[in-house]
């Protein structure tokens, strides 16, 4: 695996996790990619929703990128969106060098990172081919608890918005389920394909919902909610396509 630190918009950093080539995987010439926006209320970018997510998708054959977009009360939504646009633009510009299929790039965002991912997919000049939103902030009413005011991105859904996978919990009191439902309704009105999983149990910010991403807090471990990851991989294969596999003799060991 090759890990690269990439400068985005002079100050922002993106980490690339690129899988190695091997003759053992001669059916893979290019790979899909996942660009990850961690949450953190636009105050920080959470480590819990960064590298662990990247490594999980890496294990499924995706090249992965984590963007540490601009955050803080001294910043604004426009700057964060510019970071997101530059990040996906750089991935597409380097697709050949990084063995990525430029038409198979998904963006996943959590909480405020979900707001940014949704904004990129609905408002951006450089949009992903698939969108994954984890307990996302969608509505401008959350601006009072975020680092700066944000637009309601359900109002920005258009015919160019890509297919979307959403997951959240009914019990989330930090980002109410109304946010996910509003985005789902907007997708439905524009006839944009989507899949949604609203789990009954679970607090906000579960990430992978496993002990390794829990910061030692039992409340952040939830075996049911953890199923979102495998469901998202299946959905990505349905939307972007899977790796080729043909009938034939078994390969030599």
Domain containing 210 equals 2-21+33-240
| Number of separate domains in the chain | 1
Angstrom distances, CA of residue 31 to CA of 28, 93, 99: 7, 15, 6
pLDDT > 70: what percent of the chain?
97
Angstrom distances, CA of residue 221 to CA of 207, 225, 232: 9, 8, 18
Per-residue pLDDT of 74-98, as tens digits, reads 999 999 999 999 999 999 999 999 9
Of the candidates 134, 19, 15, the one whose C-alpha atom is nearest the C-alpha of residue 67 is 15
Residue 28 lies in a domain: no
Whether the full predicted model's pTM is greater than 0.85, yes or no, is yes
CB 104 within 8 A of CB 129: yes
Residue 247 lies in a domain: no
Per-residue pLDDT of 99-111, as tens digits, reads 999 999 999 999 9
Query: For position 177, which CATH number holds?
Result: 3.40.50.1820
Question: Which pLDDT does position 249 carry in this prediction?
Answer: 59
């Amino acid at each position: 695996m090759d890990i690269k630190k990439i400068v985005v918009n002079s100050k922002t950093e993106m980490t690339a996790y690129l899988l190695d080539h091997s003759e053992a995987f001669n059916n893979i010439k290019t790979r899909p990619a996942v660009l990850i926006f961690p949450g953190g209320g636009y105050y920080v970018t959470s480590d819990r929703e960064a590298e662990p997510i990247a490594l999980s998708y890496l294990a499924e054959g995706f090249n992965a990128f984590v963007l540490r977009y601009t955050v803080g009360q001294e910043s604004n939504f426009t700057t964060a969106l510019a970071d997101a646009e530059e990040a996906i633009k750089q991935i597409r510009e380097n697709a050949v060098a990084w063995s990525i299929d430029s038409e198979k790039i998904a963006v996943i965002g959590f909480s405020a990172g979900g707001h940014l991912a949704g904004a990129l997919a609905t408002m951006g000049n450089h949009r992903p081919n698939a969108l994954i939103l984890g307990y996302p902030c969608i509505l401008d009413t959350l601006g009072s608890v975020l680092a700066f005011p944000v637009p309601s991105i359900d109002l920005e859904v258009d015919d160019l918005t890509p297919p979307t996978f959403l997951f959240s919990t009914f019990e989330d009191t930090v980002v109410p389920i109304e946010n996910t439902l509003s985005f789902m309704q907007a997708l439905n009105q524009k006839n944009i394909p989507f899949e949604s999983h609203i789990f009954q149990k679970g607090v906000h910010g579960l990430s992978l919902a496993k002990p390794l991403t829990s910061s030692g807090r039992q409340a952040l471990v939830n075996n049911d909610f953890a199923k979102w990851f495998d469901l998202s991989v299946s959905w990505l294969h349905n939307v972007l396509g899977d790796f080729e596999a043909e009938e034939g003799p078994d390969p030599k060991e």
